[in-house]
Amino acid sequence: MSANSAEPRTLPLPLLDHHSASRSAVTCEYRCGNACAHDAPNESDNSYFGDLVRRVVNRRGALRAGAVLSVAAGATATAVGTAAANPGRGNGRGHGNGHGNDSGAAALGTDFDPVPPNTQDRVVIPEGYEQQVVIRWGDPVLHSAPEFDFWNQTPEAQQAQFGYNNDFAGLIPLDNAGIHNLLVVNHEYTTETHMFADYDPDKPTEQQVRTAWAAHGMSVLLVRRDPARGGLSPLPSWYSRRITLRTEFELRGPAAGSELLKTSEDPSGTRVLGTQNNCAGGVTPWGTVLSGEENFHQYFAHADRVSDPETRERMRRYGLGTGSSTRKWERFEKRWDASREPNESNRFGWVVEVDPHDPNSTPVKHTALGRFKHEGATIRTADDGRVVAYMGDDERFDYIYKFVSSGRLKNGRSAHARRHNMSLLDHGTLYVARFSGDSPASEIDGSGELPSDGEFDGSGEWLPLATGDTSHVPGFTAEEVYVFTRLAADEVGATKMDRPEDIEPNPSNGRVYCALTNNSNRGAAGHAPVDEINPRIGNKHGHVLEIRENHDDPTSTRMSWGLLLVCGDPEDAGTYFGGFDKDQVSPISCPDNVAFDRHGNLWVSTDGNELGSHDGLFAVPVTGPERGHVKQFLTVPNGAETCGPIITDDVVTVCVQHPGDNGSGPSDPGSHWPDGGDSQPRPSLVAVWRDHGHRVGEIGRR
């Protein structure tokens, strides 16, 4: 069938008005099951610490105020004590005063002419750079892959081809020069209305459903960097692997084998078929990849038919919906029907670990890292060798977590060291974050304008939830903490955040950076009010949080924090760019993924730019006189989101996810990227490099 012979058809897309102005209805429907159309599932009444102190003072009155004030004073002392070591302080200038770069020199690694905001249907990169599509949806991964045929897709072909909607990408060098690398890519979700020419959302065929199962998961490839010409090329190799919804995973850690994880297909509670909605991720120091199962709830139908009220409430807290699912998979496999197999959804929402060095290895789901809508997980190693994984739960009013291992990293590449290191995430303590601000609540007015001390900042603590088989949460067993982590975190009073997405430690300074994408309901009636760490009502453009662990020790249970960026139009008084001159920065909206270059600059990709431009990738120094100088490095085509940035000295890659979602589907594609002409859009991974072999961002302006 040719493009011209495809039957034009009207897609029965829901006429939704909840989705953001820049995100199309189809993206919202298929990516997260219209999470924003529903009430945020966190209805717990756990309180912001500042509110708690104020309420207690008000309630108990002057007689008791002395005792209360000692609590408050303790909190203040913590804040003051850490302020001296606050991220960004002591870097040569205060960063609440907003002044420009005196030297006029770009920070090493960010020396490029920023790409202006635009709406072009292509990847727009800085002058003097080149680009190439490394791999597209449907390109071969396994040797057996047939040529991609948009009009005649099969599960057999798709399970050997690059999957749909690439998100996280990780690059693992196999040699010191970084010539040969393993490339690991997540395929977050499928958009059936745009993938198939003849798709009826009310009557998906088994062929289409099985193709979608094969389009989920992950890809592993060998890629070669061309040091002379630039760019990356996939090579056929022994490493090539597709992980799909039919790949067997092992559940490991303290909740493995729990009654809560047993199903009729898996009475052991230790084996799960597949992974889905894999969003962000990270490469571990031992050369494996961690990947977060995010919006898993949307794949399950009929949670309303579950008879046990406690099970129903647990499902509600995770966003499982009523009625049939968007994709109707429950018609083909009963495990997607929550009323028939109520524990199956407990087997998704984990961090998975894949060893790309061994295509025959069984990937793992780590129960010790808790179950929520995991954006990803990234690792920092403490001085004593323990490893710490930072994690966000991407939902309005959900939480930031970390896991600290009990065991210590073993150096070396021996089989023994690898086996040991791959068990580190099975034993340790899971924590959730509670933050407090250091400015009076009266100064956090919801506009985003800075309080009088010049910063949104304060202190925080990591509250333990469970260690191995020991629960730290009253009323919860350890297994319940791991499987129903959101409810356990509600119980201890974690801080409700504005959609915590990617959170990663910066290898150059040890500070941890978290993208908080947005929160349409912040401060709305019946929802959590603004606080210093989520300071804007209806937070449309998001912000970037910088955490410094006490004594720079990632295992510490105390931290200080500050907002590095309060995103949006720099002309809006309610934005902040690390104190940098707002006249000089690129506008940025809805930060999602974070990455770092060798110089320690933060790179941020965006999802759902609310400023009228396409999504993009931005670089921002975090130290020195250029701190906060946001510069846009690229933009992506129509309807697309920028995902999974990798920044090396020689090449930058991004995953271009859901190009064309602004269109209605194959009869009227919203984009013709990457192949041009009248082609269908294809999610793809793009490499960008500087011409003449120069390093990225290190050469003076042309």
The pairing of strands 602-606 and 500-505 is: unpaired
Whether residue 186 contacts residue 289, with contact meaning beta carbons closer than 8 Å, is answered with: no
- The whole-angstrom separation of Cα 596 and Cα 79 is 27
353 touches ligand FEO by CB under 6 A: no
Question: Residues binding ligand FEO: what is the number (CB under 6 A)?
Answer: 6
Which partner, ligand FEO, Ca ion, none, binds residue 260 by CB below 5 to 8 Å per kind? Answer: none
Which partner, Ca ion, ligand FEO, none, binds residue 294 by CB below 5 to 8 Å per kind? Answer: ligand FEO
- The whole-angstrom separation of Cα 237 and Cα 142 is 8
Quick one: tokens of 675? 């192949």
Q: How far is the CB of 187 from ligand FEO (least distance, A)?
A: 12
Of the candidates 358, 453, 581, 698, which one interacts with Ca ion according to CB under 5 A?
A: 453
394 touches ligand FEO by CB under 6 A: yes
Q: Which is nearer to Ca ion, 330 or 592 (CB)?
A: 592
Q: Which is nearer to Ca ion, 197 or 646 (CB)?
A: 646
What binding mask, one character per residue, do residues 494-523 give for ligand FEO by CB under 6 A, x or -?
A: -------x----------------------
User: Given its phi and psi angles, is residue 639 left (phi above 0), alpha (psi -120 to 50 degrees) or beta?
Assistant: left
Q: Long-range contacts for 37-42 (Cβ within 8 Å, ≥24 apart)?
A: 38/319, 38/321, 40/395, 40/396, 40/397, 40/398, 40/521, 40/527, 41/316, 41/317, 41/318, 41/319, 41/395, 41/486, 42/317, 42/395, 42/396, 42/397, 42/398, 42/486, 42/490, 42/496
- The whole-angstrom separation of Cα 181 and Cα 196 is 33
Of the candidates 188, 266, 344, 661, which one interacts with ligand FEO according to CB under 6 A?
A: 188
Q: How far is the CB of 278 from Ca ion (least distance, A)?
A: 10
Interface with Ca ion by CB under 5 A: which range of 271-279, 361-369, 463-471, 571-579? 271-279
294 touches ligand FEO by CB under 6 A: yes
Whether residue 670 contacts residue 662, with contact meaning beta carbons closer than 8 Å, is answered with: yes
Quick one: tokens of 72? 């408050």
Of the candidates 192, 337, 592, 615, which one interacts with Ca ion according to CB under 5 A?
A: 592
Number of alpha helices (DSSP H) and beta strands (DSSP E) in the chain: 9, 32
Nearest in space to 400 (alpha carbons), one of 546, 256, 295:
546
Q: Which is nearer to ligand FEO, 503 or 622 (CB)?
A: 503
Longest dimension (CA), the chain: 81
Of the candidates 439, 534, 635, 680, which one interacts with Ca ion according to CB under 5 A?
A: 439
Q: How far is the CB of 555 from Ca ion (least distance, A)?
A: 26
438 touches Ca ion by CB under 5 A: yes
Whether residue 241 contacts residue 141, with contact meaning beta carbons closer than 8 Å, is answered with: yes
Q: How far is the CB of 421 from ligand FEO (least distance, A)?
A: 27
Sign of the alpha-carbon torsion through 627, 631, 633, 636? positive
Which partner, Ca ion, ligand FEO, none, binds residue 121 by CB below 5 to 8 Å per kind? Answer: none
**What is the per-residue DSSP string for 422-472?**
TTGGGSEEEEEEEEEESS-GGG--SB-PPPTTSS-EEEEEEEEEEETTEE-
Nearest in space to 163 (alpha carbons), one of 220, 216, 206:
216
Q: How far is the CB of 292 from Ca ion (least distance, A)?
A: 9
- The whole-angstrom separation of Cα 143 and Cα 237 is 8
Cα 286 to chain centroid distance, Å, stands at 21
549 touches ligand FEO by CB under 6 A: no
Residues of this chain, 359-378, that bind ligand FEO according to CB under 6 A: 375
Q: Which is nearer to Ca ion, 80 or 273 (CB)?
A: 80
Q: Which is nearer to ligand FEO, 27 or 211 (CB)?
A: 27
What binding mask, one character per residue, do residues 243-282 give for ligand FEO by CB under 6 A, x or -?
A: ------------------------------------x---
Q: Select the residue whose beta carbon is closest to Ca ion and give its number.
A: 439
Of the candidates 457, 504, 615, 650, which one interacts with Ca ion according to CB under 5 A?
A: 457
- Point out which residues bind Ca ion (CB under 5 A): 279, 438-439, 451, 453, 455, 457, 592
- Point out which residues bind ligand FEO (CB under 6 A): 188, 279, 294, 375, 394, 501
